[in-house]
Structure 1
């Protein structure tokens, strides 16, 4: 009974008008009255933030808040891969030769997620990591490695929930939600940063300029909680043995290493 109910629920709450109304409210001046209660309910850490909660003119501005420059130290070891977001690592695993990954007992297609067979080939037999951002998390996305952007593209239109219930009961959420994909070339191979839109709000804004990204450098932000999927080429990435999903992680913390 739960699965059909949940699917019906997310269909009813993901329409164009509900999305429009949520976006409009979050960006309106009146939403400022919700900032203190939002910060309190989600236990946002004032010490991490550049401004005080009273300085945010809208709820949207709170969602896309910046942190103090020293709030997220980045592991600068030459072969370290760091978390691109504050999030929960929900799953890690291999990408099969068939392009499939298994998340929360469901099969997803990396080919469908990337929408490009020529890009897909290099990730077969590689690794994936899924990082989920709740509404309470810092929403800006940073580069997990030093690299050169070789391609960036956008796919999908609507978005469905990407929390653990959305992954379990939704229909191909990671592969069909609105998403912005950035592919990076490192000295050891390619990595893809797949930024997946969440229910209601599809806004994913890129903030970097040029084709070069330094590890820890900001590259984009979400306007609401969502998910980042990292993909690594075969043989280039090894997950840190201390990480066992689900695990809270912060921007700049080491999640593994690259090298061949």
Structure 2
């Protein structure tokens, strides 16, 4: 894959080739067993699980985690503890780490997050998805009705692995025109277990939708999707309807596990499905 800038992170991300039988088994566990638990129970269990990583003793696994998951031994030097802390006090602090300096470039459109681009297609080419007893179009992800998003827009879905940076930033400079919270499930996000439709979780999981109107009057639709072990999705300070946002201004952060979907008036120029994208590099 060619990109216009060097990687700032560690893009050693493996797209797992899961055998069909195993993918079907995991899909069954996610959708039919875990997915049929009442949503409040899913959230309670996820919150309980994520609370383990808030304990002070959990910080002891950070160094080992970095050695196992990053080829760059100086990876952590690019980041700082969150919320003005002087050190990482728990593994959760590492998970929601902040950049010391955001990667910047002159591109008018940038990626809002870091992870695996697991889905990319024109809105008009995307199939309907059955969620329990409902048939839903891609506009459902963004809490909108059919045809509210232009068919020539491009839909992308970036899966954030546990090792990835877990803050979402604005891809453009513009004005927030809508914020919507959709309660929902917290089914497994791993795209390789859903094979032909890696975005199934985005249709049914809890999410925040944020619309941003750019300087040319075009709306960019973002959907910030939670998954199992997500304690919460937290919007950043001053993110509200009518707010002016600068490109790369932080929109939200995740406490473990996430996906970020976007419907944009332009298509990615340097990336295709199953490639790695990073915050701030040209979209």
Instruction: Check whether TM > 0.5.
Output: yes
1:34 to 57, 61, 65: 61
Question: 1:231, 1:28 → 2: CA distance?
Answer: 37
Structure with a larger share of its residues in strand = 1
- Listed one character per residue, the Cα deviations across residues 92-151 of structure 1 (whole Å, up to 9, x for unaligned) are 110018x7479xxxx962232123328x51333321111111101111111000110000
> Measured at CA, do residues 12 and 159 of structure 1 come closer, stay the same or move farther in structure 2, by a change above 3 Å?
closer
- TM alignment of 1:173-184, pairs within 5 A: 173-184=201-212
User: What are the ranges of 5 or more consecutive residues in structure 1 without an aligned counterpart?
Assistant: 256-260
Give the C-alpha shift of residue 29 in structure 1: 1.8
Per the alignment, residue 76 of structure 1 pairs with 106
> Measured at CA, do residues 238 and 113 of structure 1 come closer, stay the same or move farther in structure 2, by a change above 3 Å?
closer
SS in 1 for 2:227: coil
Runs ≥4 residues deviating over 6 A:
none
Question: 2:43, 2:268 → 1: CA distance?
Answer: 39
Give the C-alpha shift of residue 212 in structure 1: 0.9
Question: 2:121, 2:233 → 1: CA distance?
Answer: 26
Give the C-alpha shift of residue 3 in structure 1: 4.7
Per the alignment, residue 94 of structure 2 pairs with 62
- TM alignment of 1:13-32, pairs within 5 A: 15-16=42-43, 18-32=45-59
Q: TM-score, normalised by structure 2?
A: 0.75
Contact 1:160 1:170 in 2 (8 A): no
Question: 2:201, 2:54 → 1: CA distance?
Answer: 26
Contact 1:108 1:174 in 2 (8 A): no
2:280 to 249, 252, 257: 252
Question: 1:212, 1:151 → 2: CA distance?
Answer: 12
Corresponding pairs, count: 240
Contact 1:101 1:109 in 2 (8 A): yes
- TM alignment of 1:105-144, pairs within 5 A: 109-117=137-145, 121-144=148-171
Per the alignment, residue 96 of structure 1 pairs with 124
- Listed one character per residue, the Cα deviations across residues 7-49 of structure 1 (whole Å, up to 9, x for unaligned) are 3433349845531331220112232222222222222712211
User: What are the ranges of 5 or more consecutive residues in structure 2 without an aligned counterpart?
Assistant: 1-20, 130-134
> Measured at CA, do residues 244 and 157 of structure 1 come closer, stay the same or move farther in structure 2, by a change above 3 Å?
closer
